[in-house]
Amino acid sequence: MAGNMHCDAIVVGSGISDGSAAKELTEKGLKVLLLERARNIEHLTDFLNADKESWDYPHRGSAAVEMKRKSPVLQRDYPLNEQTWGMWTDERANPYVENKRFDWFRGYHVGGRSLLWGRQTYRWSDTDFKSNAKDGVVIDWPIRYADIAPWYDHVERFAGISGARDGLDFLPNGDFLPPSR
């Protein structure tokens, strides 16, 4: 790179967390360098399976035996299927290192896992933040729901999260858009 570049912050990755951090920093006037190693996914043209139904696939949308063989970690859960095949990390070229099982599935593309998620964004409740202390497991959370509730509101407004306000203690109400119809 020719010349010197000054930036106030460097963000590595463009996933939902990294991209949100870069957005917030730039909106506050900081000069941000965002680094991304992954390929760009073009809307519509690169989502080859967006208009297909499960019956349009040879295995009705589920994971074929060959797919499971090539993706031993990913095949543990729902993400491995014919609709999303080719969007995830090649586990043979980029193996997972596990001392004990940890299911985190990697997709190397601009936007990261924000492109491949279950479209569900539940808020943690007071019960969730207090569960470690209540159960005597590991270390208690240093924050509580009230500490981050305004940030949940902020993200839900920006991302356009829809949902219902049901008044459930274990599933706090949000600043939701109306549910989709």
What is the token pair recorded at 45?
């043209």
Q: Where are the domains of the chain?
A: 1-37, 39-117, 119-181
Number of neighbours of residue 66 by Cβ within 10 angstroms: 10
| Tens of pLDDT, residues 77-113 | 888 888 888 888 888 888 888 888 888 888 888 888 7
Buried b (16+ CB within 10 A) or exposed e, 81-92: bbbbbebbbebe
Residue type, 145: Y
Kindly report the pTM of this predicted structure: 0.72
| Tens of pLDDT, residues 109-145 | 888 878 877 778 889 999 999 998 889 887 888 999 9
Q: Is the pLDDT of residue 76 over 60?
A: yes
| CA 23 – CA 17 distance, rounded (Å) | 10
Q: How confident is the model at residue 29 (pLDDT cuts 50, 70, 90)?
A: very high
Question: Are 109 and 39 within 8 A, CB to CB?
Answer: yes
Question: Are 35 and 112 within 8 A, CB to CB?
Answer: no
pLDDT at 137 (0 to 100): 81
Question: Are 68 and 75 within 8 A, CB to CB?
Answer: yes
